[in-house]
Structure formats: structure tokens, C-alpha cells
Amino acid sequence: ILDPYVRAQSYGMPGVCVDGMDVEAVYHAALTATERARTGKGPTFIECQTYRYFGHYTGERHMKMNYRSQEEVDRWKLRDPIKIWAARMMESGLCAQEDIEAIDAEVNIEIDRGVEFARSSPPPNPAEALDCMYAVPYPNTPAWGVEP
């Protein structure tokens, strides 16, 4: 089975595939799944098909790992869900450009605070790297750089 959302059926749950670049499609899929779970009908697997604008890590460009063209990335950026949703909100009269700019400013402040918090925090303890990774702790699995 190639599609993850189809594989969910083998675990006894419905699966749904949505356009992850469409805010409304993701919202409605999540709303349906939440209602299903809250009424005791169990989980729903949601596959959101989307596009990653940047590589897996920052060194890809320097290593000339060009597995996709800039034109491809630019085409996908035209479907940017945040920009499209903002445009829809303004077109429908639910908000103005100034509202979008105010939200952007608030988000940027929150990001700056998060970055500052991360930079001023002590590094994480390597011994805790696997904490909460497994429902039942996996035996004899030390964190990287920590002697068992």
C-alpha cells in the first residue's frame, strides 16, 4: 500500500487524504476527525499532502544537491496556504490588509521571543534525549553521547 491514509484501515481507523496547502480542507478534515474522536469512535489518520520549500538541512545547496529546480519551488510558493488564506479573508471582507500586517507583527514578536528563549536556555541533557519517545521505555537504548 503506497498511500499512508489507506494503510490506516489496517489499524482499524479511517484515513483521509487532503490538500495540505488548502487551509479549509485541513480544517474540515481535522474537525471531522475531532468530532469522531470526541464521540468515542476512535482516531482518524489524516494525510496532508504538502510541499517543503526548503531542503532537509541547510547544507544541501552547498553540496549541490539539486534534486528539484528553483522553478518548481517557485511554482509551489504560488500556492502558499498562508498567503492564499490571507487573500481569501480580505476578499471576503473578514479583515483588512492592516489586520494581516498586525497578525504578522505579533507572530514575528512571538518568534523572536522563542529564538531568544532558546538561545538563553542551557543545552538539553543528552541523557534525556529518548525520554517520552516510546510509550514503554525501550530497553538498553542510551541517548547519543551518553554511556549506558
Closest by Cα among 8, 79, 87 to 50: 79
User: What gap in Å lies between CA 53 and CA 22, rounded to an integer?
Assistant: 16
Q: Give the residue from 49, 44, 40 showing the smallest Cα distance to 14.
A: 44
What pLDDT is attached to residue 138?
Answer: 64
Q: What is the pLDDT of residues 79-138, one digit of tens each?
A: 999 999 999 999 999 999 999 999 999 999 999 999 999 999 999 888 777 777 777 666
Mean pLDDT of 64-87: 90
Query: What residues does each domain of the chain span?
Result: 4-120
Whether 98 and 86 have beta carbons less than 8 Å apart is answered as no
Residue 55: band (very low, low, confident or very high) from pLDDT cuts 50, 70, 90 = confident
Residue 129's nearest CA partner among 144, 148, 147 is 144
| Predicted local distance difference test score (pLDDT) of residue 147 | 58
